[in-house]
A and B are shown apart, each in its own frame.
Chain A
Amino acid sequence: MLEKNYLWRIYWRLAGVIMVCVVVALAVVSYFSHRVFDRELVPETEQKAATVGASVRALVLKATGYGIDFSQLYGVEQTFAEVFEENPEFAYMAITNTDGNVLYARGTEPIGARTHFRNPVVLQIAHETTDLSKAARVGQQYIVSMPINNDGKPLGVLHVGIDAAFVDHVLLEVLLDVLVVLVVSLFFTLELLNFMAGARLASGLGEFARQVDRMKAGDFTATARIRANDEIGRLLRRIDSAIDHLNVRYEFLAGELQDKVRTATAQRREALKPAQAALEAITKRLRFGSAPQAADGDEMNLNRIRAPLFAFILAEELTRSFLPSYVNQLIVAIPGISPQVVIGLPIMLFMLIVALGQPYLGSWSERVGRRKAMLVGAVVATIGFTGTALAYNLYDLILWRSLCALGYAMVFVAAQGYVLDRTGQQNRAQGFALFIGAIMVATVCGPSIGGILADNIGFRASFGVSALMSLISILAIVRLPATEAVLPTGKPTRGPRMREIMALVVNRRFMTLTGLAAMPAKIILTGVCFYLVPLYIVSIGNTSSMAGRMLMVYAVMMVLIVPLSASFSDATMRRDRYVSVGLIISGLSGLLLLLSDSFLVLFGVVFLLGLGQALSIAAQSALVAEHCQEEIRIYGHDAVYGVYRLLERLGNALGPLIASLLVILWGYQGSFVALSALVLFCGIAFTIATHGSEWQPATPAHP
């Protein structure tokens, strides 16, 4: 394992500098594009108002052309209302006669409009026969005015009011998108940097350190390794050649001595004894010769899992912010099931397949090989994504999503196995940090980018992008080493048996952890983030981009807080207290919606939820090992964790179901509140249940 040595520090400093450069460059570009946008947006909107106004005017002129008196038109306000429906940026429309008196009007009249309409300059517009329009700021609106003129005979003036608040809102939207792109670029840069430089540096340094360690231990066996063609590789090659040289010298020495001993007289032989002893001592202390072909470059290979895993998880994460809306579009009435539940169905099924599939796919991937298992999974998922993009209705959508779920479970389990196979007791934590890191970065980047994609290219094309990402992951998986690392103490993993599940489900201590902490945490996660947020955001007239931003807030919280809480929970506080606090914070999140139904409050909800989950997530699984030692002794570590993971993932599947049932009862807001209240209740119950002495840490990590 690598120490935080000099080169490593340089790498991070370099990464820091690159990140700062990226951020500064992006910030500058964002600032200027925002200014350009600001400058262009108002004229663009005014142009649109002029175009829309011209079509209303054409209608008015058509009516008067049929002999209807200009002041006797009927349904003008209705026409305005239809315009507002299609163009929410327009807040007010009015037609005045040539004296500036309002004949027809609809919408919010800005302060000062009447004076503006009677202004001689404005009235002069009525006499224009060209396609001219004039814009002016009146109160809180930009008023675009254009003539209604029947072949030289002025009839009046048409005014269209653009809401200034709308313009501000668009600018804010753009700003938020820029922010999202900034954050995503940041993570992408880090990921790429790690992929291109960090992984190689880590493996290079690791190789070097191991080589030095070997030599320190007196192992001078020659290794027929292929060295990378970089500085470290060249250095290692020089060491290799030095070792080869040493080996040759040793061989020569040993041979010469043997030769001499064979041909020498007894007296000479006696004299050679010390030399022989010295050579023997050297052979005892040091080792020469050629080493067996070692399982090479495990660390390098370990890092190679990161890119395909990231690409694959990203494909799925892209869909998070708009999947429910897409389902809503393809919905087919299923008799006896409320549409709310039907929307949640594909998500539910996905989670269920992942939950139930994982234990069995684990041993399967071991049998067929991790690389092959990942390959099969990614191919299945690619088919699933492609099918989803082309789905005809809900029924085949469910089939395609099930394929995605199966593929997801396969890749996830196989990648996990890949890491397990290539890590020992000491570097397993590092291996999993890498594994989780790739997933985390995907969860930060996926939903937000997916939301922007969905808003701009549509749901189906966005699923196409997911299919493409999945395809890219296939290419990356193909490049993984074809030889499987075989664990020396390989005892085949297996899914938990029914007997173990039954025994553990009725075990009070185990279920306190699983039923009151792990499952509620997952229920609120999938219920809120994967089901309620995307649907609620769109239902209150917001975009999928906004849903994506929300989910990004959650993911960023996880990325920032999990490492902190993971290291702190060992040091400062009992783990179960972390879980309590985390659950209670999660449980309070949805209650915020009691205060207001604004989408800004929703940011608060997601923020608190992310904070709560991040605090408890690391401590939760550690608590199982800490407090269920008795159970682990009886059923074995694998079985206890297997059941724990299974139940936790069933919580994932239950989330959308429970959330959708609550929506039927109390609407979206009610569902947020009720789901949070449920978790709050579990949090409090968990706190009380873990209060007793049996929950004192059995072996305090830090006395």
Chain B
Amino acid sequence: MMRALLALIVIAFALEAGGDAQAQVTTRPYRIYAITFRGMTDVEKGFQDYFAARRIPVQITFRDLNRDSSRMPGFLEEIRRTKPDLIYTWGTGNTLAVAGTYDNVDPSVNITDIPIVFTLVAAPVLAKVVRDLKNPGRNVTGVFHVAPTESQIRAMASYRPFKSLGILYTPTEQNSVVVVEEVREVSKRLGFTVIAKPLKLDANKKATAEGAADMVRELKQQNAEWLYLPPDTFLGTIAQKTVIPAALAVGLPAFASTEQLMETGAVAGLVSRYHSIGQFTAYKAEQILVNKVSPAKIPVETLTRFALQVRMDIAEQLKLPPPLPMFNYAELIVPKPEEAPAAPAKQ
């Protein structure tokens, strides 16, 4: 229902943008081909809002992968056929499917002649999207969205200090593996132990939800005081149904690294607002489309401000109220009972 609402808003903005475009008869709207991973999110809304606010005429063709990678070849074929001015890719998977890694580009599969702006790629360098954040060096630039690992750990500790940290992650997702490594590095400096459990893989080497709930219970038994949810795409898909209920049952608070994970029921998280990420991504697109800067020279960046979010309903359920000073700066979320958790209401 929420998604439908968002789509409506998106259309409304698209119309508004279209109106502006008509006003400027001489300018042909820039054509953007956008590939999303799981339908419309706040990122796309922010992306479109930015163009609307800046009165830049754009015509965005949205295509949703809907978590099914078999749709990708069709999209790529359509891109080759329609030749858009810019491609927008949501997430690491989509980005790599379109652009390829910097050391392995297949011109028969990947797109090389159209600028690509990615968003919501947790670790662009580790995922081999670009070699150097400041200097992408290829026809690709974009925005990443995860706060520095140490900042997240410190935010967690300021909510409740801890000595032992549990992590669930997908071993086949490179970005998750790297974040786990970073957490281990930080743990040496700040003095806590890390219990990291990789999710099980099935016969096709694909991660499964099987045993995830047991792992959460084991973490609790091993005295983990927090469950950290890294920016892990697969974990995101099983968090709400499997991981969070198991954690709540044993009284283990979860800390989210992205707004999406926050929505699954983590008690707190240090996240980039999806809407702001979308706006920032649009800014990068503007550099390419309007200012004619080569993507190779546009640095890959993230926002400098992150939101510390707290789910008050979860905090109450866990009997872990946020510390008093946090009431000054945290974004306190109390979901309205009749709505899905995906609709946070700010007080």
List residues of A whose CB falls within 8 A of some B CB: 59-60, 62-63, 66-68, 72-76, 78-79, 82
User: How distant is the Cα of A59 from the Cα of B322 in the complex, in angstroms?
Assistant: 12
Would A76 and B324 be within 8 Å (CB), given that A66-B332, A66-B334 are in contact?
Answer: yes
Interface residues of B in 242-277 (CB under 8 A from A): none
User: How distant is the Cα of A199 from the Cα of B334 in the complex, in angstroms?
Assistant: 81
Question: What would 5 more interface pairs be, CB under 8 Å, given A66-B327, A78-B325?
Answer: A59-B324, A60-B324, A68-B321, A74-B322, A75-B322
- Within the complex, the shortest CB–CB distance from A61 to chain B, in Å, comes to 10
Chain B residues with CB under 8 A of A63: 321-322, 324, 327
CB distance A74 to B334 under 8 Å? no
CB distance B324 to A79 under 8 Å? yes
- Within the complex, the shortest CB–CB distance from B24 to chain A, in Å, comes to 43
User: How distant is the Cα of A561 from the Cα of B325 in the complex, in angstroms?
Assistant: 57
User: How distant is the Cα of A72 from the Cα of B319 in the complex, in angstroms?
Assistant: 9
User: How distant is the Cα of A74 from the Cα of B334 in the complex, in angstroms?
Assistant: 19
Would A79 and B321 be within 8 Å (CB), given that A66-B332, A66-B334 are in contact?
Answer: no
CB distance B327 to A62 under 8 Å? yes
Chain B residues with CB under 8 A of A60: 324
User: How distant is the Cα of A79 from the Cα of B324 in the complex, in angstroms?
Assistant: 7
Let me know if B97 is at the binding interface, CB within 8 A: no
Let me know if B150 is at the binding interface, CB within 8 A: no
CB distance B323 to A74 under 8 Å? yes
CB distance B316 to A67 under 8 Å? yes
Partner of B327, one of A59, A72, A82: A59
With both beta carbons as reference points, the residue of chain B lying nearest to A73 in the complex is identified as B324
Would A72 and B324 be within 8 Å (CB), given that A66-B312, A66-B332, A67-B316 are in contact?
Answer: no
With both beta carbons as reference points, the residue of chain A lying nearest to B320 in the complex is identified as A74
Chain A residues with CB under 8 A of B347: 66
With both beta carbons as reference points, the residue of chain A lying nearest to B332 in the complex is identified as A66
Interface residues of B in 211-234 (CB under 8 A from A): none
With both beta carbons as reference points, the residue of chain B lying nearest to A81 in the complex is identified as B325
User: How distant is the Cα of A62 from the Cα of B320 in the complex, in angstroms?
Assistant: 16
User: How distant is the Cα of A74 from the Cα of B323 in the complex, in angstroms?
Assistant: 5
- Within the complex, the shortest CB–CB distance from A137 to chain B, in Å, comes to 28
Chain B residues with CB under 8 A of A73: 321, 324
Partner of B325, one of A67, A68, A72, A79: A79
User: Would you mind naming 22 contact pairs between A and B with Cβ atoms under 8 Å apart?
Assistant: A59-B324, A59-B325, A59-B328, A62-B327, A63-B324, A63-B327, A66-B312, A66-B332, A66-B347, A67-B312, A67-B316, A72-B319, A72-B321, A74-B320, A74-B322, A74-B323, A75-B322, A75-B323, A75-B324, A75-B325, A75-B326, A79-B325
Chain A residues with CB under 8 A of B320: 74
Chain B residues with CB under 8 A of A67: 312, 316
User: How distant is the Cα of A76 from the Cα of B322 in the complex, in angstroms?
Assistant: 10
List residues of B whose CB falls within 8 A of some A CB: 312, 316, 319-328, 332, 334, 347
User: How distant is the Cα of A149 from the Cα of B324 in the complex, in angstroms?
Assistant: 17
With both beta carbons as reference points, the residue of chain B lying nearest to A80 in the complex is identified as B324
Closest 5 CB pairs of A and B: A75-B323, A68-B321, A75-B324, A79-B324, A62-B327
Most buried by B among A59, A75, A79: A75
- Within the complex, the shortest CB–CB distance from B308 to chain A, in Å, comes to 14
With both beta carbons as reference points, the residue of chain B lying nearest to A62 in the complex is identified as B327
Chain B residues with CB under 8 A of A79: 323-325
Chain A residues with CB under 8 A of B312: 66-67
- Within the complex, the shortest CB–CB distance from A676 to chain B, in Å, comes to 40
Chain B residues with CB under 8 A of A68: 316, 321
With both beta carbons as reference points, the residue of chain B lying nearest to A56 in the complex is identified as B324
CB distance B325 to A82 under 8 Å? yes
CB distance A78 to B323 under 8 Å? yes
- Within the complex, the shortest CB–CB distance from B334 to chain A, in Å, comes to 7
With both beta carbons as reference points, the residue of chain B lying nearest to A82 in the complex is identified as B325
Chain B residues with CB under 8 A of A74: 320-324
With both beta carbons as reference points, the residue of chain A lying nearest to B334 in the complex is identified as A66
- Within the complex, the shortest CB–CB distance from A66 to chain B, in Å, comes to 5
Chain A residues with CB under 8 A of B316: 67-68
User: How distant is the Cα of A66 from the Cα of B326 in the complex, in angstroms?
Assistant: 13
Most buried by A among B321, B326, B328: B321
User: How distant is the Cα of A82 from the Cα of B334 in the complex, in angstroms?
Assistant: 27
With both beta carbons as reference points, the residue of chain A lying nearest to B312 in the complex is identified as A66
User: How distant is the Cα of A79 from the Cα of B329 in the complex, in angstroms?
Assistant: 13
User: How distant is the Cα of A63 from the Cα of B325 in the complex, in angstroms?
Assistant: 10
User: How distant is the Cα of A377 from the Cα of B132 in the complex, in angstroms?
Assistant: 52
With both beta carbons as reference points, the residue of chain B lying nearest to A60 in the complex is identified as B324
With both beta carbons as reference points, the residue of chain A lying nearest to B325 in the complex is identified as A79
User: How distant is the Cα of A76 from the Cα of B321 in the complex, in angstroms?
Assistant: 11
Chain B residues with CB under 8 A of A66: 312, 321, 327, 332, 334, 347
User: How distant is the Cα of A82 from the Cα of B323 in the complex, in angstroms?
Assistant: 13
- Within the complex, the shortest CB–CB distance from A53 to chain B, in Å, comes to 14
- Within the complex, the shortest CB–CB distance from A148 to chain B, in Å, comes to 12
Chain A residues with CB under 8 A of B334: 66
Chain A residues with CB under 8 A of B321: 63, 66, 68, 72-74
Chain B residues with CB under 8 A of A75: 322-326
Chain A residues with CB under 8 A of B332: 66
- Within the complex, the shortest CB–CB distance from B166 to chain A, in Å, comes to 21
- Within the complex, the shortest CB–CB distance from B138 to chain A, in Å, comes to 34
Most buried by A among B316, B319, B320, B325: B325
User: How distant is the Cα of A361 from the Cα of B332 in the complex, in angstroms?
Assistant: 69
User: How distant is the Cα of A60 from the Cα of B322 in the complex, in angstroms?
Assistant: 12
With both beta carbons as reference points, the residue of chain B lying nearest to A79 in the complex is identified as B324
Chain B residues with CB under 8 A of A76: 324
- Within the complex, the shortest CB–CB distance from B3 to chain A, in Å, comes to 29
Chain A residues with CB under 8 A of B326: 75
User: How distant is the Cα of A59 from the Cα of B323 in the complex, in angstroms?
Assistant: 10
With both beta carbons as reference points, the residue of chain A lying nearest to B310 in the complex is identified as A66
Most buried by B among A62, A74, A78, A82: A74
User: How distant is the Cα of A602 from the Cα of B223 in the complex, in angstroms?
Assistant: 53
Chain B residues with CB under 8 A of A59: 324-325, 327-328
Chain B residues with CB under 8 A of A82: 325
With both beta carbons as reference points, the residue of chain A lying nearest to B160 in the complex is identified as A74
Chain A residues with CB under 8 A of B325: 59, 75, 78-79, 82
- Within the complex, the shortest CB–CB distance from B162 to chain A, in Å, comes to 14
With both beta carbons as reference points, the residue of chain A lying nearest to B323 in the complex is identified as A75
- Within the complex, the shortest CB–CB distance from A368 to chain B, in Å, comes to 54
- Within the complex, the shortest CB–CB distance from A391 to chain B, in Å, comes to 27
- Within the complex, the shortest CB–CB distance from A83 to chain B, in Å, comes to 10
User: How distant is the Cα of A10 from the Cα of B334 in the complex, in angstroms?
Assistant: 86
- Within the complex, the shortest CB–CB distance from A85 to chain B, in Å, comes to 11
User: How distant is the Cα of A62 from the Cα of B321 in the complex, in angstroms?
Assistant: 12
- Within the complex, the shortest CB–CB distance from B320 to chain A, in Å, comes to 8
- Within the complex, the shortest CB–CB distance from B273 to chain A, in Å, comes to 21
With both beta carbons as reference points, the residue of chain A lying nearest to B328 in the complex is identified as A59
- Within the complex, the shortest CB–CB distance from A86 to chain B, in Å, comes to 12
User: How distant is the Cα of A442 from the Cα of B202 in the complex, in angstroms?
Assistant: 85
With both beta carbons as reference points, the residue of chain A lying nearest to B326 in the complex is identified as A75
User: How distant is the Cα of A78 from the Cα of B326 in the complex, in angstroms?
Assistant: 10
- Within the complex, the shortest CB–CB distance from B12 to chain A, in Å, comes to 34
User: How distant is the Cα of A63 from the Cα of B330 in the complex, in angstroms?
Assistant: 12
User: How distant is the Cα of A72 from the Cα of B316 in the complex, in angstroms?
Assistant: 11
User: How distant is the Cα of A453 from the Cα of B328 in the complex, in angstroms?
Assistant: 35
User: How distant is the Cα of A82 from the Cα of B324 in the complex, in angstroms?
Assistant: 11
Most buried by A among B316, B323, B324, B325: B324
User: How distant is the Cα of A63 from the Cα of B322 in the complex, in angstroms?
Assistant: 9
With both beta carbons as reference points, the residue of chain B lying nearest to A72 in the complex is identified as B321
With both beta carbons as reference points, the residue of chain B lying nearest to A67 in the complex is identified as B316
User: How distant is the Cα of A209 from the Cα of B312 in the complex, in angstroms?
Assistant: 95
User: How distant is the Cα of A654 from the Cα of B287 in the complex, in angstroms?
Assistant: 55
User: How distant is the Cα of A68 from the Cα of B317 in the complex, in angstroms?
Assistant: 11
- Within the complex, the shortest CB–CB distance from B289 to chain A, in Å, comes to 37
Chain A residues with CB under 8 A of B322: 63, 74-75
User: How distant is the Cα of A72 from the Cα of B327 in the complex, in angstroms?
Assistant: 15
With both beta carbons as reference points, the residue of chain B lying nearest to A66 in the complex is identified as B312
User: How distant is the Cα of A62 from the Cα of B328 in the complex, in angstroms?
Assistant: 9
